Structures are given as structure tokens and as C-alpha cells.
Structure 1
Amino acid sequence: MFSSSEQIKRTFAMGLLIGGVFLVCGLILLRQVSSQNERENALYLYDTVNQLRTLLQRQIALDFQTLHGVAISLGHVPEKEILPALKEVNDNNAFLRMGLAGRDGRVDLVDIGGELRRGVNLSGEPFFQEALAGRAALSEVRDNSFGPGAVAYCAVPVHDSDGGIRGVLVAANPADVFLNILGISLFDNRGVSSLIDGSGAYVLRSTAGGTAGGREGDIFHLGSLEDTTREQVLENLQKNQRGVFFYTTEGEKHFAAYEPLGVNNWFLLCTVPAAALSLAPNALWLSVCVIIGLALLLSFFLLWRVRSISNRYRGELERLAFVDPLTGVRNVNRFKMDAAGLVRRNPDMVFAVWYADIKNFKFYNEMFGYEMGDKELVRIAGLLTDCDGPLAICCRVSADKFAGIRPMRSREEFTREFQELCKRIEGDTARLSRAFPLALHVGVYSTDTAQAGEVSFMDMVNRANIALRAAKEGNSAACVFYSEDMRGLALRQLDIESRMEAALKGDQFKLYFQPKVDIQNGNRIHGAEVLARWHDGDRLVPPCDFIPLFERNGFIIQLDRYMFSRACAWLQRRIREGRPTLNIAVNVSRLSLMQDDFLHYYSNTKERYAIPDGLLELECTESLALFDERFREMVLELQKRGFRCSLDDFGAGFSSLNVLKELPIDVLKLDMLFLRKSRDLKRERIVLSNIIAMAQELGINTVAEGVEHAEQVDFLRAKGCNMVQGYAFARPMPEAEFNSLLDKLRGGAMPLAQA
């Protein structure tokens, strides 16, 4: 048997052995945990830097987008109106000052408060030269020459009507715009974000808490840094590559990560103490010491602690990656994963994949501000998620767009439920804005369609979006289900949009003329309406396919001007050839009338072609006269410049007698749909007769369009209508055919078309 002293020695030795084993295990564990922790921390820090970089890039892109919008509007503004226009624009933006620099670099800057800084010379500035070369540019951060703080100048080229560069639009942005983003709280306010350049020097430096920290110094003086690390960081910066490194300051280890910003060779740098990311090394060493006495228990505790920290950070990353920061609902990335899984796990269930946006939300933001708009988005997101369940989820896609998926028993039930939701949304906002109440447009794809088994989930979302476009084309909130016809229409519209520019440059849009016949004076041709027809090779694209689309995407402005110029050229040829002239009516869209240079362009074109007064008539729609208060002044100015003005489609919409009372128009065009859609022809003819009589007493000529039958011509002649336009006499015809018709008639009567 062993003696007590030997027993004590053996026990002590065993304790030392066990303690030594646990110590070695603890050291190995410490090394593994530290390495894993550093890798996870580096990845997490990279993700954080990327999110801040995205915010900075969006801010810079938004500034350039704003300036490009202003630059387009300034392209045709006279010099003397530049500064007042910029003052008005700048009052609605966050720029400290703005100005339009000439090609010589001289600029008068107008402050946000209206104060002028005259004669500033930017000719030697690299950002000015870059913008003058046709590219948007951002200056370095510099001291504010006219006040406290620092600024960065944005610059974009301003083009004139001939496509040349008229000058450069510059705007001073306070450095606080960037500092506010850099100052976003990171890691419980212990992380610090800064902007550096390719040499490592600070462009903008913030401190913990988001305050400015000056622009002096560089990152190589952050703390103790090894030479090899310094060389590697500098090499990465010069190659415009991202990287991560460690340094020690005041005995504390820090992580630092940098990412190229994509602007001015700038990088976003984020630094954070290692203790803010993970357990401090000292705590781990203390754990190793304690492990000698409580080794197993402490080991399990450490493993659990490391796992909980990792899970916490992973949860935070998932929240940033999958949750919409404004509303707190799923973002579109999480929605795609969850919804696709729902469809895959429930192949026998019918789902409705819906895509929605908020009608009038843009006007709501403009009237009540973005803060109120954000609150409304949060409220609407809450209403949508109230309908969620185990098999029903939704998300915010972007801006005022939402998407979702839910089981569907029937399309009627789904439509009824969404209509109830629309009423709740519209009812709550109607108190604030009766003119623009909020409501939902909803497009729906149902998985019970014949093609559902062959369609991926993202294709389902895209097709719901196609149905949303169809819903938005209506005049009120609507819930529209997808059909293959919609997809075909969407593809055709995309095809048309891809070819419209080339078609205009290739003269594929042709003039067609529909005669206006004076039925009170022997059925003679008094004038014609010019209509656009698209000849795409041997195919004629129907106007109903491209005119509404052009009105939505804005291309109608270019088409209107092209048709007007071609009509003027046709009249000029007849005048030069000594042929009889006649009144030509050209359609003008609402978008064209709203352009700042509308009067200038149309008047100059008329003068350039030397068209006498009274031969050109501009046709505007009734809806513009009803809802645009500036229309009356526009009509008076056009008449002063020798144009005749007509009101088109009267009677096709919600006609108002105020139009006849208030507008000094020359011609009133009556849409014969007024009669064709009637359920009581006698009553409608009474109304039409009185409209013609009122127009006569007001000195307004009347033209009935869409007239198809001889008996309609007789009725209109008896009631005093001046002219008729329609298939009763002639369809729209190409230019050559119309010229031949005029030569054939030589002022004689236009015969009725054969039935």
C-alpha cells in the first residue's frame, strides 16, 4: 500500500497531469476559437462596410440624379432666368449652393438662403474639367470657402438643344451629408467609419458617435502596425482592392476593414475594437487558468458562450439581410426564399402571388412630406401583415411596392378581400387628401393556371408585376389577374420601346391625312387632320399599340414634334409649288404642352418653314382643358402667334360646359361616340344639337369626327355643324394619296364614300 505522503504526491501529480492536459486543451481551444472568431469578425466587418458603402453610393447617385434632372430642365432656360430657377430648385434640395458654370469655368453660385456668390472661378478644378468632358464628377472634400464646415462639389454637364455642352451644373454638398452616414452607430457606438483615399490619407474622418474628426493624417498612424501589414494595405489600396488588417493602440487590439467606394479612388474604412466584436482575449486566458479547477464545466460554458455570440451576430446579419429597415417586414430577398419554399412544399394548393403599389403615393409624399409618407408605408405594411399566416406572407419590395403570397380559394374571394383592404387604406388617408387618396393597385398570378407547373417562382412574381401594369392603366384602384395576353402585350410593348428611337430616326412614322369636309358649303375639303402611322417595313403598327405607350413613357413628345415639323414641311412645299393651301390640324399631347420650351419650339418651327398665320391648328384633348388651369393662357398665347386651337374629343369624356364658357378656342371637335354609345338616340341628338347651337353663338366652329353614315351627315348639316371628318367621306390616307385627291377635286365637292 502507498503511504499517505505518496498518496498525496500521486494525487498531486495526477492533479497536475489533469491540469496540464486541460491547460493544453484550453490553449488549443483558445487558438481555435480565436482563429474562428477572427474569421467571423472579418466577414461580419466586411458586411457592415458593404452596407455603409451602399448607403454612401446611393447618396452620391441620388445627388447626381437630382443634378441630371435639373440639368435637363436648364438646357433650354435663358441665361437671365438661370439663377432664379436654381434658387427655386435649391430651396427644395439639401445642397448648400448651386450654379451653372460656363465653359470658361466662371459661375455665380446661389446659396440655399438666396445669397449670391458671384464670379467664382472653377476652370482649374479637375471635377469641372471632367464634367465639361461630359461625365458626372465629384470633387474632393474641401473647406467651405463661404462659411464653416467642409463641402464636396457635384458637377454634371448641361446640354443645349443641339446636343452640345452648354456648361456645367455644380452644387455644393455639405460634408455632413457623408458624415451622417459615416456616423451610423456600429457595434454599440464603438465602431468608427471614415473615408480614405488610395494613399491611405483621410478624406473624411468621424469619431465614435458620428462627430467630425478632421481630415488630417492617414490610417498608418492608427496604432502599432507591422511593416508587412503596412505594405500589404498600401498595395491593396493602389490596386483598388478591399482588405482587412489588425492593429494595436493603447494595448487594445482593433479590427479594420476597407472597401473601394467606386468614386474618386475613395475607400470606406471601418475600425472597431476586438472586444466589441467578441470575447476579449484576456477573458479567454482567464478561462484557461480557471479550467485547471473547473475545466470541464468551464469548457462547456465557453463553448456555449462562443456559440451564443456567434448566433447573436448571425441573427443580426440575417436581420440586416432579410428585414426591411423601414417597415420591419420581410424584404424581397427573404420573401423569395420563403415563398418559393411554400409553393414547393404545397404542390396541390392554389396560391395567389400578388404584386402591389400604392396609387397617388408620389403626390402624398409631395403634399405631406417624406416623414408622413414613411409612417403611411409602415401602417400599410402592418395592414398587409395582419393578413399573414402559416401559408401567407408578404414583403416590401422597394419604395411603395409590396409583394406577397397567400392560399386562394377563389379569385372572387381574393378580389373581395383586397377591395376591403383598399377601402381601409383609402378611408384613412382621404381625410388628409381628398384629391389624392391612397389605394392599392394589385396584380395577381394564380398558380392554378395551365402553365403554373412550368413557371419558376420568380417568373410568377414577374407575371404578377405584369398584371400590376394592367391594373395601373385603369382609372381607379384595381385587382387584376394575370393572363397570357398580358404577357404578350408586355413583350410587344418592350419590343416597341426597343425600336421606337430607330423608327423615328429612320422616318418610319408617316403623315396620314383625314380630310375635313365643309358640309355647309358644297362638301368641299376645308382642311385635314394629320395622323401618325408607323410603317415598320411591310408591317403597319396600329396606333392603338404605340400611341398610349408613348404617352406613358414620354416618347410622345418627340413624336409630336416630329409630326408637326413634317406637317409644316408639307405645307411649305405646297406654298412653294403654288398649289392651294388648306388648314392642317396636328395633335398635341398633354406631355408636350407641359414642356417649358413648348411655345418656343412650335413658334420657331412655324417661322422656320414660313407658314402663314391661320393654316396650322393644334388639337388638344378635353381632359387637358378640364384639369389644367394654365391651358387658357396657353391658348391665348398660341393665337397671338398665328395658331388656331381646337378642342378634341368633346363629348367622349366628362365634358364640362365651363370649357365652352372659359376657353377662347377656335374649333370644337365633337366625338360621334357621343351618339354611338347612346341608349336614347333622340335625347342625345337633342344634346348634340344644343352644343352646336351654343358653339355657333360663341363664334366657335364645330367639326364632327367619327362620322360614318350619310344620314349622320344630313343631321349635322341640318343642325349647323360646320365640318365633318370620318369614314362617311374618307379614311386617313397617305401623303401621296391625299395630294392626288386635292389635285383631282381642285376645290370641287368631296363625294360621300360608297357604303
Structure 2
Amino acid sequence: MDEHIPLIQQMANSMNDKEFEDTLEDLASALDKSVIIAITDRTGKITYVNTLFLKMSQYRAEELLGQTHSIVNSGYHPRSYFKNMWATIGKGEMWHGELRNRAKDGSIYWVDTKIIPILNDAGVPVRYISIRYDITERKMIEEKSRIDAEIYRLITENALDFISVIDPDGAFKYVSPTHAKMLDLQKLTSGDIYDIIEEADRLTFEEALHMAKRTTDAVSVEFQVKDKANCLHTMLASLKFIRQEGQYLNCVVVSMHDITVQKESETIIQDLSYKDQLTSLLNRTAFSKRLYDRLQTEKRKGTSISLVYLNIDRLRYVNDSYGQDTGDYVLSVVADRLKKALSKEDLIGRISGDEFAFTILKAADEETAERLTKDIKEKLEEPILMAEKTNSISISCGMVMYPEHAQTPSELITKAEKALHFVKEHGGGGVKMYEPGTATKTLERILLENELRKSVQMGHFTLEYQPKMNLYHGELSGVEALVRWNHPDLGRIPPDKFIPIAEETKIILPLGEWILREACKQAYNWQQRGYKPFRIAVNMSAVQLDEPTIVETIQRILTEEKVSPEFIELELTETSFADRVEMRHTIQRIRDIGIQVAIDDFGTGYSTFSYIKELPADILKIDMSFIRDIDVNENSRAIVKAIVTLAATAGLEVIAEGVETEKQANVLIELGCLEGQGYFYSKPLPAEECEFMIPKIDE
């Protein structure tokens, strides 16, 4: 159309008005289907519009004729835009521009517009012809591209990730502004990605880069970089090869995220998970795992080793006489002496409060093992300075041989414990090799076991409920059901005395079933009486989880007691994670029912963070030992913060146990832990007393 504009001007100047309008009608008829045409007089009033104009504007011809083009003005362009247009066509020159118009129904359309002035003999415009093309679709694409570019700019400038594009050799083709937070942008643009990666990690990155070229999936790689201040940061990067045609074809998009804080938190948790915090020795879980690996080596070699289980006799008297700090000092001295007495290849662990275990790899037979153990015992019993006084300590040792007496870590530890118990029952201070049939049951133990069996049958147990609170709002969020043994003759027997016996004798199976059923009954009772529903947490031991029918038992109890699974939570002890592969399946089946699973006493070293990432779980319960001094001990605060951070990473809820003061609660809130339980809120209560803390639905 553009090339015909001079011809149209020539025609207009050579014809009278009538001839010109007739000619234009013929021309308009031909162009009507492809070009939007309008004619205005010298004042801008519309004198002609073609069919396509009517279609685009959605006005009828009678609504447009006599009006100005302001009728379709969308208000998008500034006044200066139209002022420039009139100035141009007023001088008899053609104006070309893009206009955003508004149709009668309010919808917007864009037109590419040329306005051609028709001049009289004096060169003064007498009318104007506007020729327009619909460019709405193109403008929408441009607008979307502009918005996408703006969004991308905002993302790349404000995101936490560091986004770049590199060529196949690692040279930077694009670097997002976020890199300036950590690195020198000027150096980046002239270098390659290997310049910022620590030398030890460059090969790892190169391998990941090659892998990204061979797959359509994103490839993850972890490496370290040094920032402008020469500090190391751990980065997790995603590499994606570009296969689309364009400027960056065959390049790789690198999206890096700084996970330094997360890695530091994980290191703290891993340290908690594998080391005893007082002595830096292996804890029980780590010792068992390392012992398993050691036994596999000895099995291949066909050699024997000895395992020694050690107890510091009467350490509680040291605590009572000199205080807990002195008792901890004795433990640390014994640990240091064990490290010096044993070889670097031997394993040493602190199994519980005053008990240690260690291997003697060079003990090929029982006689050698006993001789070496007695030598070690003598070194451990050398006098220790306590409160400016020199005191002697007594050590008891139980021993077992691999493979003669047992072939698994759990069996070796159990039999070494039995040999140790034999020594303790005979006054302590000795060394005893395990003998099949060694008696380890004291009269008290025999009595408790017999009474425990009878009490389960006769119903001497009750449940108490300790509230769990939302620390921020001070509202009840749930309760934990705690079993209590009220023996008619022996009185109230603490759980730490009868639960281990119940687990060892498997009396825990009927007792545990009774606890779950009783908790479900109470949940149903509270709901029927109009109390707001909440979860009741029930403790479950590894012995129960080992039962092949445990999931079916849980389902049956829930059905029979008419309780929805969402109102029951199971708390698992650290021993539940001894066999991760089998337990994962069982725990997942329990969660599939709809029951939430909590990991109890987290942070004591028995439950490792690696387990948490592998096992299906919903909640972490931070052990009270970290809460006790959280308001005064920076280490405890750091540990709790690390647990909260990593729990959030794994998508787990966190609850703190043992909250006893308002200060502790406030510190927990600051650290991001918003749920807790402890005596600051309430001690465990009978059901009827607990009801005073439970709101009703209509309140």
C-alpha cells in the first residue's frame, strides 16, 4: 500500500471531490478486507470508514461519522504524541506511528497507522486518509516478551541463586547481577567458571559438565568457591544443556545456590549423630555401625577380636560428692586414657552415662584378651585429681570374643553386658569373660519382671498426658500419653526402670497395645464431649515395630476405638533406627495409614541426620539436654538452631522437650522452634486434670 501513496495524492489533486470519492470507493472496496481505512475532513471529523474499521472498532458507521478519532482513543498515548502527529500532517507531511485504540466493548487493539494529508492547490490539507494495519497480535507478543524479560531481570537480580551461562569450555557468556554479592563481576565476564571453583573440585565440576551434555535432565554438582574476601562457600549447582536454536545453543545454564549455612548445620548434626559430645568418642549408634564394618573385615581375614564392655563403678557417688562437672571430668579422663591405651585401629565408644565399649584387635584368644584388658584396666584406675584431692576409681569389665561367642554387633554387646553385670553383682572391680548361661538377673530384676507380667494382666497401669504447646501463641497443640505403673504393693515404679525390662522380655507388646488403645479411647472420649480435636502422641519401641503384624494391629485398634489416624502420633525411640531398610518400610506403612511419626530425643547422638533424610518422619523432638541450658549456653543454642534449620530443609516439624522456664521458651521462639512441652507449661496430668487446658469447640 505504501508505494501507492504518491499515486493517491496525485489522483486527489487531479480530481474534483465527487470524482475523488467515487475513485476512493472502488479502491476501498478492493482493500476493505485487508486494510483499515478512514477519511477525515481538515478538522479531524470522520467522513468515511471502511468495513474493516467497523469490525475492529465494533462501532456502527452512523456512530463514527461526524466524530473524531478520539472515540477510539484508549488513553494510552500522551497528549504530546498526538500533538506531534497533528504538527506533522498539518504541514502536509505523512505521519507514521503505532496507535493503541479501544473498541466499543472496551477491548484494546493496536494498529500500524499512516495518515496521508490531501492538499489543495495552495498546499493546504483539506482532508486526511488514514491507512491502518492490525498489529494487535504482534504487540501482544512484544508485550509478553517485555514482561517476561522484566520478570527474568527481577528474578536474576533479586534471586538467591547465582545464574550464569557458560560455553562448553566453561567460559562465561552471561552472568546474573546476583554474582556481585559474592564475586567480582568484572573478572567473571572475562574469565571462565573454573577460575572461581576450588582446585580440588574442578574435576568434579568438569565431569558434571560432560554429563549435562549427554542428558536432557539437569545435573546437580556440589563444589566450593572463594568469595571476594577469600572465604570459602559451598555451592549446589544445577547444570542444564541448551539444545534450542539461538544465541546460546550448545551452552550450559548454571544455577548455583549457596548452601554454606546448611552444610555447617549438617556438620553440627553429623557431629552430634556420631560423636559423644563430652568425650568425642563414638556414640552407641556409631560404635555399633563401625563394629559391624570391623566384623566384616575380620570375617574375611578369619581372625578373632575381643569386645570389652566397661563400667566406672559408683560414679554416681562422685556426682553426689563433688557435683556433675567433676563426674563429667572423670568420664573425660577415662576416655583420654582409653585412647592412649588402645591402638588407632581399635574402636572406642561411650555407650551410655558411665559405660564404655572398646575392641582389642590383637587379642587372638581369651587368655590374651583377659591379660590385655587387665593391663588397660590398671591404667584407667590410676588416681585422678578431683576437687584438689587425689582419688582412685574402680573399673568393671565384661568381655566377649568374636566369633566364638557371637557374630553380630548387637549380640556381642549384649553378651559383654551380661559378663559386666556378673562382675557388678559380685562387687565390681573385676574382669569377666562371657560364659554361656552367665546369670545376670538380680533379685530385684526377677521380682520386677514377674510383677510386670501380672500387672499387665491385672490392669495396674494408667496413662498421664503432658500438654504440648504452641510457644508463640501459648495454646495447646497436642498431648503426649505417658504410661505409669502404680503397683499395689511396690508403689509407683518409674518408667526408666520397667520399660527396658518390658522391651527385653517382650512384655512391651501387650503393654504397648494397651497404651495405644487407651490413648485412642481417651481421644474419642474428648471429641465426643466437645473438646477441640488434637493429636495424642504415643511412644512405640523398636520391639513393637519389629512385630510383623504391628501395622495391622494399629489399624485394628483405630477402627475398634473409632479414632481417625490424623489424631494419633507415634514417637519412635533411637533404637527404632538400627535397621534403616526394614524400619523405613514399616514406618512408611504406618504413615500411609495417616498417622504422623516423631523421632524422640533427637540430638543425643542416637538418631543421625542421615537417617532422618532416609526415613519417613514428620516431627523431630529435640532432647531436653539441649533445652536445659539454652538460655545461657551458646553451644546449646547453636545446636538447636542447626537442628531447626536442617529440619526445615527436610520438611519436618520441630518440638522441644523439657521447657522449664519462660526464658527457654523465648529463646526457642527466636531460634524458630515454635512448639514445646515441659514443666513450664504443665507436668504430666491425669486425663481429667488435663481437660482444664483443652479448649472446647464452642469456646
Calculate the TM-score normalised by the size of structure 1. 0.38
Larger radius of gyration: 2
